[in-house]
Structure 1
Amino acid sequence: MPAIAVGPLPGRLAQVVEGYRTDSALRLLGSLHDNRAVAVLGLCTVERAVTAVHIAVAPSCQGLGLGRELLKAAVTKFDFRRITARTATEAVGFYRRCGFSVGSLGEVYPGVERFDCTLDVIRAWPGGRRRQVDHLRSSHSRPGSPLPGAMPRRR
């Protein structure tokens, strides 16, 4: 399932996994069901900003709110002010439903439009992060779906 987030190039998944194991700026959150990863969110943290570099949900689990729950877990777990992502047309609706502002980067590759997505985490007043986390909750989330948890880092 994690290969969904990194593409089909030979060796790419192993390269990305090694990065999460060795780079202290990279974090990986996951949602497990029956001891199998059904959703992953890879983050790159720099100071108080974070970029979602990989996000994927197993096709059989899409629409259950797992991607949104992983974003919520990231907001809760890490102390940052903004989360950004770059994505393709297919994922723009997901980010918009999660409260991200979305702007086109134009045609980055021939025939491929990419988008910059940004979610500002409100911290200027008490309870700001809590309200943003509540916003990430949705009526689309179903009770009883697997809860996100940190996937252990190996050194």
Structure 2
Amino acid sequence: MMRRCMFPTPEVEALLVHAMFPDAARIARNLEAYRTDPGRQFFLWETGGRVVCAVGLRVQARQAEVLHIGTDPLERRKGFARALLSAVASALDLTTLSAETDGDAAGFYRRSGFYVRETAPRGDQRRFACEWRAAG
């Protein structure tokens, strides 16, 4: 079940950190931005009374950008992140949902109904632009 979370709890932060570049200062800046930037929102997927997935978004009108999405490592590949993105798009009545990602997550976005295209690399890492558009 999806729900919006108003403030990042340690449990939510732990899930989002799975999707952040492993640099302590950068992680701290990102988490602080979720606390202070009104354009950033985050949502949770709960099952069995436990939070198993969280997504952080930048939302503007009916468009959103996935900034971070993290799933409990023991709960991966069960469809929770895909269900969360679908529920968020529906709840916010989004027309567009986008993300920039690396090669590790490009397949996830493709399986979730996003159009995925390779973009310019960042350093030595391949990068991908992912976009989902509402039908109609």
Verify same fold: TM over 0.5: yes
1:113 aligned to 2:113?
A: no
**Structure 1 position 62, deviation (Å):** 0.3
Aligned to 1:85: 99
Across the aligned residues of Structure 1 and Structure 2, the Cα RMSD in angstroms comes to 1.8
1:17 aligned to 2:11?
A: no
Pick 1 or 2: higher relative contact order, CA cutoff 8 A, min separation 6.
1
**Structure 1 position 108, deviation (Å):** 2.3
Distance in 2 (alpha carbons) for counterparts of 1:6 and 1:36: 22
1:103 aligned to 2:122?
A: no
1:52 aligned to 2:66?
A: yes
Which one has a larger percent strand, Structure 1 or Structure 2?
Answer: 2
- Give 5+ residue unaligned stretches, structure 1: 125-155
Sequence identity (%)? 30
Q: What TM-score comes out, normalization by structure 1 length?
A: 0.71
Distance in 2 (alpha carbons) for counterparts of 1:104 and 1:85: 12
Q: Number of residue pairs matched?
A: 122
Q: What TM-score comes out, normalization by structure 2 length?
A: 0.80
Q: Which amino acid aligns with 1:58?
A: D
Which segment drifts farther, 28-37 or 56-65? Answer: 28-37
Q: Aligned with 1:31: secondary structure?
A: strand
Q: Which amino acid aligns with 1:19?
A: A
Task: Assess, with a 3 A threshold, how the Cα gap between structure 1 residues 7 and 51 changes in structure 2: closer, same or farther.
Answer: same
